[in-house]
Structure 1
Amino acid sequence: MGLLRLDHTGIVVEDLEAAIAFFTELGMEVEGRATVEGEWADRLTALDGLRSDIAMLRTPDGSGRIELSTILHPRTTARAPWEPVSTPGIPRVTFVVEGLDGVIEGLRAHGGRLEGEVVRYEDALRYGYVRGPAGVIVGLVEYLH
């Protein structure tokens, strides 16, 4: 048996409520919230005493999910990398949207920052990157059909 499907993308954030607001502004829907802790979580993460608040969000069509989590214990002093989009290992998640310019403006109200410019690729699409919660790069694609 091999790969069946992508289940979700996980993003650790400092401010869970702000991250939820960012992604719901984008159009995602909160599927559920929970606190994660216990021996199974410690074993999974190799962290002693893990305690994390999470929110699971899904795309409107139900085909994609993002798990946002904030780690309450153990706390880290490290910060998320705020590197250019070309840096290996930088998290990037891409969504198809309608009304790209309006989506970007809505995300700006939640701390989103346009990286580079929105560009047009031939007659097929417009594409832009927005820096979101914890430095994650959110790709936004608008197909031109």
Structure 2
Amino acid sequence: MKVHRIDHVGVIVQDLPAAKDFFIELGLEVLGEAEVEGEWVERIIGLTDVKETVVMLGMPDGEATLELVKFHTPSDENGMQPSFSNTLGIRHIAFAVQDIESIVAKLKKKGAELVGEIQNYENAYKLCYIRGPEGIILELAEKIN
């Protein structure tokens, strides 16, 4: 028995177009889009009356995949809940980037906001958290020569 790699990370969103545009602006590429429903998916995820739209996004190097999912039914009765960097559960997705300042400026024009600020970590990395649509937190990491 062996685990090969992480296949993808799934993010459930309400505003699929905004989330998709945000990740495209970051540099990901659309690999595919599909409407998903039926007993087969209901049996996998343990919900009934499932109707969802799925967008698969990939990194330009092909190494990682991100799945954005918009559930049309059933809906989340609680809606979006505010979260903080220390809220329990999966909290952020980290991306290795080049030119962190330019990326942050570009994403801020799309409505993203820095959670804290860009910091130099031991002259090895520039790091920051940035919050995008749906409250999604990204960690951006730029390796310093």
Give the structure-2-normalised TM-score: 0.95
- 2:13 matched residue in structure 1: 13
- Which aligned pairs between 1:1-145 and structure 2 lie closer than 5 A? 1-145=1-145
Shift of 1:86: 1.5
Shift of 1:71: 0.3
Q: Secondary structure at the match of 2:119?
A: strand
Cα drift, residue 85 of structure 1: 0.5
Which whole-Å deviations, capped at 9, do the CAs of 1:31-68 have from their partners, x for residues lacking one?
00001111011111211110000100011111011000
Deviations 1:92-144 (A, max 9, x none): 10001111111011111222111011100111110000112322210000111
Kindly state the Cα deviation for residue 81 of structure 1 after the two structures are TM-superposed.
Answer: 3.2
Counterpart contact for 1:81–1:90, Cα < 8 Å: no
- CA distance in structure 2 between the partners assigned to 1:124 and 1:82 by the alignment: 32
**Between 72-81 and 52-61, the greater mean CA deviation after superposition:** 72-81
Q: Which stretch shifts more, 128-137 or 75-84?
A: 75-84
Greater shift, 97-106 or 26-35, is seen at 97-106
Name the CA distance, whole Å, in 2 between partners of 1:59 and 1:123.
26
Q: How many residues align?
A: 145
What amino acid is the match of 1:30?
V
Percent of pairs with identical residues = 38
Q: Which runs of 4+ in 1 moved over 4 A?
A: none
5+ residue gaps, structure 2: none
| Unmatched segments (≥5 aa) in structure 1 | none
- Matched residue SS, 1:116: coil
